[in-house]
Amino acid sequence: MEFLGEVLVLLASAVIMVPLARRFGLGAVLGYLAAGVLVGPWALGLVEDVETILHFSELGIVLLLFVIGLELRPSRLRVLRRLIFVNGTMQLLVSTLLLWPLAAWWLESVRLGLLVSVVLSLSSTAIGLQMLAEKKQLTAPYGRAAFGILLLQDIAVIPLLALIPLFAASGDIPQAPGEIALQVLRSALIIAAIIFGGRYFLRPVFRMIVLANVREVFLAAVLLVALGTALLAEWAGLSMALGAFLAGVLLSDSEFRHELEAGVDPFKGLLLGLFFIAVGMSIDFGRLVTEPGLIFAIVAVMMTLKFLVLLAVGRYSGLDSRSSVSLAFALPQAGEFGFVLFTVALNQGVLDPGVVDPLIAAISISMALTPLMYFINERWIQPRIVVASGDGKEFEGIPDDHGEPRVIIAGLGRVGQIVARNMSMLDIHFTALDYDQKQIDFVRKFGHRVFYGNATNLEVLRAAGAEDATLFVLTISDIDVSLQTAQMVRRHFPNLRIHARARNRTHALELKAMGVDFVIREAWLSSLELARASLAAVGVRKAARYVDMFREHDERALEEQVAHKDDEQELVEIDRRSREQLVELFEEDRRIMHTEDDEK
């Protein structure tokens, strides 16, 4: 009963705190951390066995890496090898070298200072990847860079676990060199076994399970593969997360990839949430009271130095200022492997409790601070960084060969390219802007005129000729950037007509409220056409007529909702009233059609 009571407390705290955090724009991770602090031993004290919960919830990290592995085909992993081995090694090495002298001074030991600095150089896979995934930023350039760095760190945990005994006092080395070599050989054999088994045995096994047509057995098999490979990896002295990641990569090319991901996802989300709650509970506020100066000094120095290193790594790897800053804000914290590595060092007599306890507290605090820092980055730093950045070019030189009518296209992704191609076919002059250099290089291969520049920057808009333009076509997919751009254009160029692509209905409402002249939801027309074809397929007469009626009615409702976009109750009422009116219109139309049939 006590166990069930703790489970209910954990679930209730998550149900309350996570929606609150999301409502204030802070993200789910910070909500889970706050829930942990609330129910932990230093607040309400409703849950006390923090260590057991933390150990169990680390399975969430294992499943997270398994899912990421499923999304990374081996061919794509080869493409990321520079991000993993060059950027990752650079971050780990430079961070260690900067932290080492300070740690050695604190501990009065060069040897122990090296161990502490290496462990603090690791970042949190759970915090970093989950935060970026939640914000749909894992596929962004800095998201890929963050993934590469974190994967290299997961690999680095393997030799670190094996080498910790070597940091013991000289003359008291628990492991002989032969034993270390044997452990390395065992690790290599286990990795080879995972790769071989994944390539030649897993697919036939999953085919047999699918033929049985019992979904529960399929889910059990998915968990067996993910957790089984993780356990094998741990037995070999490797990171459990790395073993699960390898299994995911090996299954990424299989026909079961999407079903595997769907099966694991609910367990992954629940266990990751539990992990973040456990991290919140593990923050030692008692130690904070007795040694606040030491703990906050460790947090400040570690996060500042790692931030600067990540910023430099991002710039070195070709990221622009915005992306480099986002990378630096995503990974300045210490990682969950710090809990494991410092505990191993404590158990083997390498570090004393007086050293480990403040380090564990510092790790927990740094993990808790990261979502808040990233929120500040997105809300206040990113919108201002283009002007403040030291980039060699804030925008590419745009030739003054103005033609008529003058059109500016902001964002040359899928939607922007279609608009640009139609303009090109009719020899209508346009200037296209994008701030993704890889996208620019790709699009230019097809002969399109596109220039580097962020459309939220007033100087970029002026250089593109916005003051003399006839039309501004806004096709940027990022909703926040799209709204910032529309606001900038409307404020500084009030006579410039704006046509915009909206990701969804809420985005469309925001754009219309800003005075955008024409807004089209990206899935709107295709949805209407699909509805027309579907109605016709089930025998509805004059299906196109009903779809046109729905379209006109919905667009009128959308216009009515613009004036009440911040009044949720009124929006719901308008939607309800609109649906009732539409049903009445359909009924009236059907009566007219039946009357016409009777007269015939």
> How far apart (Å, rounded) are the C-alpha atoms in residues 144 and 438?
14
pLDDT at res. 387: 42
Token couple for 96: 């260690």
> How far apart (Å, rounded) are the C-alpha atoms in residues 120 and 302?
7
Q: Which of 421, 399, 400 is nearest to 409 (CA)?
A: 421
Query: Which residues pair with residue 519 across a beta bridge?
Result: 500
> How far apart (Å, rounded) are the C-alpha atoms in residues 274 and 53?
8
Alpha helices in 135-201 (DSSP H): 141-163, 177-200
Q: What are phi and psi of 270, to 5 degrees?
A: -65, -45
Q: Which of 342, 341, 331 is nearest to 366 (CA)?
A: 331
Token couple for 343: 């505990």
Q: What are phi and psi of 404, to 5 degrees?
A: -125, 135
Q: What angle do CA 396, 399, 403 make, to 5 degrees?
A: 135
What averages of pLDDT result for each successive group of 10 residues across the chain (600 residues)? 79 89 73 87 84 80 80 68 88 95 93 94 87 77 87 78 68 55 76 81 82 81 88 79 82 74 81 84 82 93 96 89 90 86 78 87 88 87 63 51 69 87 83 76 66 77 84 90 89 92 89 92 90 90 85 83 70 69 65 57
* Dihedral Cα 490, 429, 405, 397, nearest 10 deg: 50
- Amino acid at site 208: M
- Using a 10 angstrom Cβ sphere, with 0-12 exposed, 13-18 middle and 19 or more buried, the burial of residue 293 is exposed
pLDDT at res. 71: 67
CA 256 to chain centre: 24
For the structural domain made of 51-384, what CATH number should be given? Answer: 1.20.1530.20
> How far apart (Å, rounded) are the C-alpha atoms in residues 356 and 364?
12
Q: What are phi and psi of 296, to 5 degrees?
A: -70, -25
State which H helix or E strand residue 89 sits in.
helix 88-107
Token couple for 264: 């694991």
Q: Where are the domains of the chain?
A: 51-384, 407-599
pLDDT at res. 489: 92
Q: Which of 155, 122, 342, 143 is nearest to 241 (CA)?
A: 155
> How far apart (Å, rounded) are the C-alpha atoms in residues 162 and 344?
10
Token couple for 236: 């070999």
Place of tokens 């590419």: 396
What is the tens place of the pLDDT at every residue in 128-140? 887 887 777 776 7
Quickly list DSSP for 364-385: HHHHHHHHHHHHHIIIIIHHHH
Radius of gyration of the chain measured on its C-alpha atoms: 28
Q: Which of 254, 205, 183, 195 is nearest to 229 (CA)?
A: 195
What contacts 445, CB < 8 A, 6 or more positions away? none
Would the CATH topology of 51-384 be identical to that of 407-599? Answer: no
User: Is there a contact between 475 and 450 (Cβ–Cβ < 8 Å)?
Assistant: no
Q: Which of 482, 423, 6, 71 is nearest to 262 (CA)?
A: 71
Q: Which of 461, 453, 451 is nearest to 488 (CA)?
A: 461
Token couple for 226: 């993910």
Q: Which of 272, 325, 336 is nearest to 131 (CA)?
A: 272
User: Is there a contact between 154 and 122 (Cβ–Cβ < 8 Å)?
Assistant: no
Helix (H, G, I), strand (E, B) or coil at 22: helix
pTM exceeding 0.85:
no
What is the tens place of the pLDDT at every residue in 227-277? 888 888 888 777 687 788 888 888 877 767 767 877 788 888 888 888 888
Cα first-last separation, the chain: 74
Q: Which of 525, 526, 522, 515 is nearest to 477 (CA)?
A: 522
What is the tens place of the pLDDT at every residue in 504-548? 888 898 899 889 999 999 888 899 999 999 999 998 888 888 888
> How far apart (Å, rounded) are the C-alpha atoms in residues 141 and 319?
7
What contacts 465, CB < 8 A, 6 or more positions away? 398, 400, 402, 406, 408, 431
Quickly list DSSP for 224-278: HHHHHHHHHHHHTTS-HHHHHHHHHHHHTTSTTHHHHHHHHHHHHHHHHHHHHHH
Q: So what's the architecture of 407-599 in CATH?
A: 3-Layer(aba) Sandwich (3.40)
- Amino acid at site 562: V
User: Is there a contact between 419 and 426 (Cβ–Cβ < 8 Å)?
Assistant: no
User: Is there a contact between 149 and 313 (Cβ–Cβ < 8 Å)?
Assistant: yes
State which H helix or E strand residue 521 sits in.
strand 518-521
Q: Which of 531, 515, 534 is nearest to 523 (CA)?
A: 531
Q: What are phi and psi of 409, to 5 degrees?
A: -110, 115
- Amino acid at site 197: G
